[in-house]
Amino acid sequence: MLKKILKMALVALALIFAGMQFVRPSRVNPPAKAGRGIEEQVRVTPAVETVLKRSCMDCHSNRTEWPWYSNVAPASWLVADHVNHGRRHLNFSDWARMEGVEAGSMLQAMCKEAQGGSMPMPSYTLVHRGAQLSEADVQTLCDWAGAESERLAAGAASEIRALRPDVVE
């Protein structure tokens, strides 16, 4: 009797699992638009690029490397949700959508998230061991974010001065 119930339960589970596979989230890497990427908008040093590629790119760019399990529900739903959500908040492939000031605070947010350990998402580093940030990685990211956000702010200030030469500081 018990054996029979167990068998039926297993069959039911297998059917549910099979049924779940029909709900396929879209996994698209939209094409990059020239001139809009982070590397075209701010100065990205090779060291920073390495960190971003290794630890952030899968969720924060259009160049996602979809792992095999992103084909298998329910993992596929989770992965697609993280990528869609991540891209909506911050997309290296469309960095240009942010204004100068906004880009500056995004740079600082990137440093803060990395320092606080909330990015990359812990569920991601659980599987992508190599994506974990070392202290040196965080330092690299934060030094760069600080310098670049200052440069952006200085650029914005000089732009304003150029527009309003009558305003003397």
Interface region with ligand HEC, contact rule CB under 6 A, candidates 24-32, 33-41, 42-50, 56-64:
56-64
Output 42 or 110, the one with its CB closest to ligand HEC.
110
Q: Whole-angstrom Cα distance, residue 51 to residue 23?
A: 33
Q: Give Cα separations from 25 to 74, 80, 111 (angstroms).
A: 10, 6, 31
Q: Site residues for ligand HEC, window 131-160 (CB under 6 A)?
A: 133
Could you tell me the sign of the dihedral formed by the alpha carbons of 76, 78, 81, 83, in that order? negative
What is the maximal distance between C-alpha atoms in the chain? 91
Binding flag, residue 73, ligand HEC (CB under 6 A)? no
Q: Whole-angstrom Cα distance, residue 114 to residue 106?
A: 12
Binding flag, residue 124, ligand HEC (CB under 6 A)? yes
For the bound state, the minimum distance from the C-beta of residue 92 to ligand HEC, rounded and expressed in Å, comes to 10
Among 56, 80, 98, 152, binds ligand HEC (CB under 6 A): 56
90: Cβ–Cβ under 8 A, 6 or more apart, which residues? 60, 106, 110
Binding flag, residue 55, ligand HEC (CB under 6 A)? yes
Output 32 or 109, the one with its CB closest to ligand HEC.
109
Among 44, 90, 103, 152, binds ligand HEC (CB under 6 A): 90
Among 44, 82, 104, 149, binds ligand HEC (CB under 6 A): 82
CA-nearest of 117, 93, 85 to 32 is 93
Binding flag, residue 93, ligand HEC (CB under 6 A)? no
Q: Whole-angstrom Cα distance, residue 120 to residue 114?
A: 7
Interacting residue ranges for ligand HEC, rule: CB under 6 A: 55-56, 58-60, 82, 85-86, 89-90, 109-110, 113-114, 119-121, 124, 133
